[in-house]
Structures are given as structure tokens and as C-alpha cells.
Amino acid sequence: VEASIPEPQREAWKRNQITSFTDRDGFEKEVVRHVETTLARSMFNCDEIAAYSATSLAFRDRLITHWNRTQQRQTYRDTKRVYYLSLEFLMGRALDNAMLNVGLKNVAQGMRFLRAFAFDCYDCVIEDVVKQEHDAALGNGGLGRLAACFLDSLATLNFPAWGYGLRYRYGIFKQEIIDGYQVEVPDYWLDFNPWEFPRHDVTVDIQFFGQVNKKTVGGKTISVWEAGEIVQAVAYDVPIPGYDTPTTNNLRLWSSKASGGEFDFQKFNSGDYESSVADQQRAETISAVLYPNDNLERGKELRLKQQYFWVAASLYDIVRRFKKSRRSWNEFPDQVAIQLNDTHPTLAIVELQRILVDIEGLEWDNAWEIVTSTFGYTNHTVLPEALEKWPVGLVQHLLPRHLQIIYDINLFFLQSVEKAFPDDRDMLRRVSIIEESQPKMVRMAFLAIVGSHKVNGVAELHSDLIKTTIFKDFVEIYGPDKFTNVTNGITPRRWLHQANPRLSELIASKCGGNDFLKDLTLLNQLEKHVQDKQFRKEWAEIKYANKVRLAKHIKDTTGVVVNPASLFDVQVKRIHEYKRQQLNIFGVIHRYLSLKAMTPDQRKKQLPRVSIFGGKAAPGYWMAKQIIHLINSVGAVVNKDEDIGDLLKVIFLEDYNVSKAEMICPASDISEHISTAGTEASGTSNMKFVLNGGLIIGTCDGANIEITREIGESNIFLFGNLSEDVEDLRHAHTYGSHTIDSDLDKVFNEIEKGTFGTPHDFSAMIAAVRQHGDYYLVSDDFHSYIETHQLVDEAYRNQDEWIAKCITSVSRMGFFTSDRCINEYAEEIWNVEPLAVDRH
Ligand code: AZC
């Protein structure tokens, strides 16, 4: 950094460097200063929220110094940067992570000093303070959380990297359960957010609508897009600290605003005050709300507007940064790698081509070479309903020049295909970026493939599936090398050290300190301690304590008392038919009926179990909401059944989010990852649960397969049909005779008898299996699912061996760190190197 300061200013710079606290005394002074000045409160009125704010501000100050230096260093060294474009960043809370990564969490553990003068939080400890923070919930589920884990790894590994996203005013809705039904409440999270920095000086004007005119400049005809509407993008920056490194990267989120200031002054002056405010509001609508769908696209115009707004602002920023170094355009891919997190940012491909051809005057072919060398595309799903397609008419209206460019990209692409496959006319129809449907559609995944140099799936099975199903033709066209796999990972900093501090500490004591947090393969040192009785005992105690903590939360939020000595069986994730929460709740009903049929003596021999569910349903996903309702209805009956007592409890945890996951994962004995084989691209919570010393029951799907390979078949409970059999089974359901599993049939009959409330409420769920072809193979997998749960019960009875399985599994989880993942992207896709840091 010093070298980047011009010689004459260097002395002054050194003299005036900001120093921040390094010990508890210094920290306390900073907190007091922030309470009394920044927050303008008296220390005597410092409550928990004020304590949170001031603590955040104190740590933030430290972070900012690192952040500024990181940016200075990256600018000065000017090496290749990575830009991660994601419409979702599910960050969760920041303070705990900042304390951990800055490395001074211990000084804050002295929070009890507040006792001296802050009456309003007399007993407040840092754990309470941390809980005051509202989750930054700018995402739906796995895709958004993956982006957040990637940012953590990119910074920790010292990669010069930026995230680009949207600053939604409303993140994912807050879920309330009222009378057993999901009710959505807006998540207004920006009230006080110390982790973002508005950059009112970093703005970009974004165009929409209008028309394209041809102009001749210097004998060359160029296309000029005359905008119909201009909206301003304002940057908000969020510092992303790496763990045990000064590298602090930047996440830039764009917020929309009417261009030309607060009001349209012409309208204002002419007395049309209302409509000038309306313009303002219309512009702000673009970044107002996160679309709450997971694995589902609805093709809304505003969503397309969001996508272009964000992509255009980000590219403008990236190009502006590139231009500062005055390199030739051909060097662009040597300086810039852009990763498309799903197809949501695919318009970036078109936008860069437009910038290069229309604005910078490059030849089409030259520009296209630069574009395709720059982009990489990650696919996260094979579900047809999640693949984005936009009506040609809508694109034409909103982005007239982009549609022309898309048509040209498609023309040149199809010409090359025709040349290579002259005898296959149908191939052109199949791979065309424009689907010749009514209305015509732009297939975004195809555009992303054509415009990128690498396409990756997120787990081995998934990456194989995309090559043999949805993108099969493209493998023929481009050859197999363009398609690759990068199995997902999670950050062990948040998902082990932060979520489960006691387990992390125990692990550290056996793995030679905290280095495993940076090199997760070091966990393998645990394996030699598996037989150590004392170690197992401590391990079991920690698990129990985590279950007590969750039991308390369950009591506080649902009123139901659960026994922490029961087996905790957890399924938390978005509610979706393909994830099969319905299979789980049908299995729970089966268990309930079996218990009811037993004599009291038989019951005494049964293992107590708590079935815990959590997850949001998209507001428009009716069937998912029915599933939530059934879970709650079953809970209402089972939880008060005196025959059953502790033997079975059914809990639905309200408002599952990142911070709740941090409490839930450490408390699970067994978690459910039971998607129909071939439908869950990877899953990442499976990794979180195993890393926290829980076992899993799952199908041969997504990353479950690789988890099995790593931890060993004897440490996981696999069941169900394999992905290669799914198609035949579905075919048989529709065209052959479809008999429902007899145990499942009993479950259905019980629901229909009204045992769990009005049967009509659940008739569609039953009909999906009985009458509508059981697309998700609930009946086909039911028997195997029930049997496997019996194996789980048996295994859990032998606690000693169970704990041994857990420890062995954790010791073999090194592969699933997002650090490994990011290193693979860096090497195989981005061709970027980390930037060495000077520690001072
Ligand atoms: C999810 C996948 O469903 C999940 O299996 C995967 O772990 C995660 O991405 C991260 O790769 N996909 C999505 O959330 N959404 C879409 C549109 O695929």
C-alpha cells in the first residue's frame, strides 16, 4: 500500500494513519465514544440495540481501514479481478463474522463492562448483543447462501474479487405461522444497517425502452439506442472481511433512484407535484423487493428490469475500472473474469457486446471473442420451471438494442452449428437461443452457454445430468471441455466456528489449533481420536447442550416442550415438492399410527423423537403452503396426545433463515435431504449438518453422493430410487398401472378420516400421488424411507457408536469447504491468482 502513495505525500500519510483498538480497554473506549457521539445517547441509556450498534461501529472502523488498504493494494497491483454477479446474497448477520475475521472477538467478550454504567443492559453479554442484528436476507435459499459463502472464501484466500448485487429494500419476507398457515410479512431491514456505505458519488444512469437508430460516423454505421426512460443506480458498498487476513473485499449493491435528483422539477414547477413523486417511486420500485421464488421463474417484467438495471450498472463499473489502466481491449479477459450465478445476469453478455461494438467501436468478432473469454456460467438446477425464458416481445420493448444483439448472436451461432451439423435440421431448432413458440421466447440458459467459455454444475451428479439432458446438444457442439463441475462448499468459519463455538474449540484441541478453519482437510486428524472415551464424552455433551439451546427456542416460540434426550430429526430448507417435505410428514404420520397401535409396554421400548421442520414457501406456491399446513396440523394432534408423550413431537419452526440455521444445524442428530433423485442440484445444508456432527438421511442426489464417498457408506442413511430410474418410473405411473404403497395408503386414509383436521385441506397433496402420476415418486420411495428411519432408530440406540460415526464423518468433511471450491473456480474457470498481503 505504501508504495502506491506518491513520494511527496508518503510522510503525511504515515503520520496521519488511523489506528484502531487492539485490546479490551481500547475497544471499550470506542464503544463509549460511539454510543455518546455517533448514536447521540447517554451511556446510561445504552440498551441492547445501542450496544449492538456501537459494537458494530467499533469493529466497522477497524474493518474500514483494512478495506481501504485492500482496495488501494488491488488498484495499485492491477492484477486480474473476479466479479461475482448474483441477484442474491444471503449474508445473514455481519457483526459476529466481523469480530471473528478481524480476530478480536475476545476483546468483545468483555461486554460485561457495560454493567458499570449501562443500566439498560446490565446483564448483557456479547451473545445477546449479536442477536440484536437483523439478518441481511437478500436471497431465497441455497443459491444466495452459496454466493455469501463464496465471498467469505474469496476474501479469506486473498483473491481480488467483487460481488455485485441489488440492494433490495425488502429482503425475503418474514414468515409467520398463524393457525397453522404461513403468513408473509414484509422484511424492512434497512432501518439501521451499519454495514453498508452509500456511495452517492458512484452512480450510473441506466436506460430502458426507447428505440434504436442507425447513424453513420466516419463512414461506419453504428446503432444508437435512444432511451425512453433513465433510472439512476446508486452504489452501496458492504465490506467483506476475510478470516485471519487483512484482505477485505467489496460487495457492491445497487439501489435505484429517479435520475436527475429527487423530483422532476419541470413537472414540479408546473404544478404536477403528484406525478413527479410517482416517477420517483416508479424508479425506486426496481430495487424495492427480492422476488421470493426459489427454483421457479415467473417471467415478470419488473424482474427483467431488475436484471438489466443491476447488470448494466455493474458492467459500467467494471469497464470504468478497466479503462483506468489504459490497456487495449484485447487485454480485458486477462484483467476481468465475470461469473454468472445462474442465468439471472445473462444480459451482461449482451451488454458487454453492446458496449464493445456500439460504444467502443470494436468489430463484432473481436468483441465477441473478448466477451466469451470473460464470462463463466454456473447452472444451479435442471428443473424446467426454474429455467429462465423471456418473451421476445418483452425484451424488444424494454431493451430494443439488446434484442437485436441477441438475434445476431443467435444467427452467428446457428450458422456455425449448421456448418458443423449439416444433416441435422432439427438441431438448429433445438439449440436456437430463440424458442419458436407462441409467443417466441429468449432461452437465457442457452444464451449464457453460447456467451461463456465455461459452464459448470454444482455437484458431480448434477454436472453429469446437465451434460446428458438439458444441455446435451451443446456438449456435441462445443465438445465436453466447455462443461465442468465444481462441487459446492460452505465456509467453515460461519458454519462451524461461529455456529458451534464449543465444538470448534474441541476440534481445535485435537487438530493442533485453529488452522483447520483455513485448511479444512486438517480435520482428518480427528479420526485417530475416535476411540478416545473422554473425547467422545465431551463431543456428546456439546451436542446435548446445542439441543438444549434449540429446545429452549422451540419452547419460547411454539410453547411445545421437547425433551433434548430425544432424537432430533431436522428438515429445514425451502418448502418445495421436489425436496419432499410431504414424504417426511407422511412418514411422521406413519410413525404416529404405529405408536398408537402399540401396547403401553411396547411403547416404552420406543425411541423418543422430535421431528423438526422449517422453511418458507413462495407466496404463490399453493401446494407448498398446503404442506406447511399439514405439518402444523399433524403437530397440533400429536403434540397433545397423551398416549404418545415424548415419543413423538412435531415442530414447525417459524421464519427459517441464516441466523436460525446457525442455531439449528449444531442441534441436529439426523437431518433430511430427501429430494427425488436427480432434482436437487447439490444442496449445501447437508454439508452444514454433517460438519456440525449430525448424521444425514438422504437420497442418492446432489452432493449427498459425494458426501457418501468422502465419509463412507456406513456413516450415512441412504434410501430410495436412483436418478437413472426416475424417468421409467414416471412413465410407468402415467401409462402403466400405479399402485400406491400400502403403508402410505393407510396414512392417506387417516388424513381422509379427518384425524388431522378438515380432510379437504389436504386432498390435493394426496391426489398428487394417487391421481396425478406421483411426479416426485413419494410412493415409490416410501417403503425404503420408513425402513431406513428404523435403521436410524436402531443406530441411535448405540450412542457410543453413533458418536463415533459423527466424529468420523466430521473428520472426513475437509472437501466441502468453499475454499476448495473457490480455488477450483480460480484455476479452472477464472485463471486468477490471489494477491499477497502485507501483514502489519
Ligand atoms: C439451488 C439448488 O436448488 C441447490 O441444490 C444448490 O445447492 C444451490 O442452488 C446452490 O448451488 N438453486 C437455486 O436456489 N435456484 C435456482 C434457480 O437454481
SS3 of 58-79: HHHHHHHHHHHHHHHHHHHHCC
Residue nearest to atom 10 of ligand 1 (CA): 143
Residue 165 CA, ligand 1 centroid: distance in Å: 17
Residue 829 CA, ligand 1 centroid: distance in Å: 20
pLDDT reported for residue 102: 86
Residue 142 CA, ligand 1 centroid: distance in Å: 5
pTM (global) more than 0.95? yes
pLDDT reported for residue 9: 83
Q: In which band, very low, low, confident or very high, does the pLDDT at 262 lie, cut at 50, 70 and 90?
A: very low
Residue nearest to atom 14 of ligand 1 (CA): 143
Please identify, by atom number, the ligand 1 atom nearest to the C-alpha of residue 684. Answer: 7
Instruction: Extract the C-alpha cell encoding 706.
Output: 459425494
pLDDT top residue among 700 and 109: 700
Please identify, by atom number, the ligand 1 atom nearest to the C-alpha of residue 381. Answer: 18
Based on its alpha-carbon atoms, the radius of gyration of the chain, rounded to whole angstroms, reads: 28
Q: In which band, very low, low, confident or very high, does the pLDDT at 761 lie, cut at 50, 70 and 90?
A: very high
339 to each of 345, 451, 688, how far by Cα in Å? 9, 12, 24
Instruction: Extract the C-alpha cell encoding 46.
Output: 445504552
Residue 381 CA, ligand 1 centroid: distance in Å: 6
Query: Best mutation site among 293, 456, 458 for ligand 1, i.e. most ligand atoms within 8 A of its Cβ?
Result: 458
Pairwise CA distance, residues 437 & 430, whole Å? 12
Query: Best mutation site among 143, 462, 673 for ligand 1, i.e. most ligand atoms within 8 A of its Cβ?
Result: 143
Please identify, by atom number, the ligand 1 atom nearest to the C-alpha of residue 462. Answer: 5
Please identify, by atom number, the ligand 1 atom nearest to the C-alpha of residue 488. Answer: 11
308 neighbors 398 (Cβ within 8 angstroms): yes
pLDDT reported for residue 663: 98
How many angstroms from the chain centroid is the CA of residue 433?
28
Q: pLDDT tens digit string along 186-197?
A: 998 887 899 999
Residue 718 CA, ligand 1 centroid: distance in Å: 21
Residue 799 CA, ligand 1 centroid: distance in Å: 34
pLDDT reported for residue 388: 97
Q: Is the pLDDT of residue 46 over 90?
A: no
SS3 702: coil
Residue 469 CA, ligand 1 centroid: distance in Å: 17
Which of the residues are catalytic? Answer: 380, 573-574, 579, 684, 688
Residue 460 CA, ligand 1 centroid: distance in Å: 14
Residue 737 CA, ligand 1 centroid: distance in Å: 34
Mean pLDDT of 173-202: 95
Instruction: Extract the C-alpha cell encoding 375.
Output: 464470462
Residue 506 CA, ligand 1 centroid: distance in Å: 32
Q: pLDDT tens digit string along 706-717?
A: 999 999 999 999
Residue nearest to atom 15 of ligand 1 (CA): 295
Q: CB-side exposure of 582: number of CA atoms within 13 Å?
A: 29
Q: Which residues of 547-579 are buried (b: 16+ CB within 10 A; e: fewer)?
A: beebbebbeeebebebebebbbbbbbbbbbbbb
Residue 363, Ramachandran bin (φ over 0: left; ψ between -120 and 50: alpha; else beta): beta
pLDDT reported for residue 112: 67
Residues with a CB atom less than 6 Å from ligand 1: 141-143, 146, 294-295, 342, 380-381, 386, 458, 488, 680-684, 702
Mean pLDDT of 558-572: 98
Query: Best mutation site among 149, 297, 380 for ligand 1, i.e. most ligand atoms within 8 A of its Cβ?
Result: 380
Pairwise CA distance, residues 214 & 192, whole Å? 48
Pairwise CA distance, residues 10 & 821, whole Å? 39
- Bridge partners (DSSP) of residue 162 are 83, 250
Please identify, by atom number, the ligand 1 atom nearest to the C-alpha of residue 140. Answer: 14
In this structure, the number of other CB atoms found within 10 A of the CB of residue 693 comes to 26
Residue 160 CA, ligand 1 centroid: distance in Å: 25
Query: Best mutation site among 140, 342, 379, 381 for ligand 1, i.e. most ligand atoms within 8 A of its Cβ?
Result: 381
SS3 458: coil
606 neighbors 622 (Cβ within 8 angstroms): no
The position carrying cell 467469505 is 152
Pairwise CA distance, residues 825 & 821, whole Å? 6
Instruction: Extract the C-alpha cell encoding 774.
Output: 406421483
SS3 202: strand
170: DSSP letter: B
pLDDT top residue among 24 and 751: 751
Pairwise CA distance, residues 349 & 338, whole Å? 10
Residue nearest to atom 7 of ligand 1 (CA): 683
What's the CA dihedral at 135, 139, 145, 151 to 10 degrees?
-90
Residue 285 CA, ligand 1 centroid: distance in Å: 26
Residue 118 CA, ligand 1 centroid: distance in Å: 45
Mean pLDDT of the chain: 95
165 neighbors 256 (Cβ within 8 angstroms): no
Q: pLDDT tens digit string along 57-93?
A: 999 999 999 999 999 999 999 999 999 999 999 999 9
Listed range (100-114, 438-452, 654-668) with the worst mean pLDDT: 100-114
Residue 654 CA, ligand 1 centroid: distance in Å: 22
SS3 671: strand
Pairwise CA distance, residues 439 & 446, whole Å? 18
Pairwise CA distance, residues 822 & 835, whole Å? 14
Nearest to 701 by CA among 727, 724, 725, 675: 675
* Peptide bond connecting 439 to the previous residue in cis, omega within 30 degrees of 0: yes
Residue nearest to atom 17 of ligand 1 (CA): 295
Please identify, by atom number, the ligand 1 atom nearest to the C-alpha of residue 458. Answer: 11
Q: In which band, very low, low, confident or very high, does the pLDDT at 736 lie, cut at 50, 70 and 90?
A: confident
SS3 126: helix
Please identify, by atom number, the ligand 1 atom nearest to the C-alpha of residue 386. Answer: 17
SS (H, E, C) 14-59: HHCCCCCCCCHHHHHHHHHHHHHHHCCCCHHHCCHHHHHHHHHHHH
Residue nearest to atom 9 of ligand 1 (CA): 143
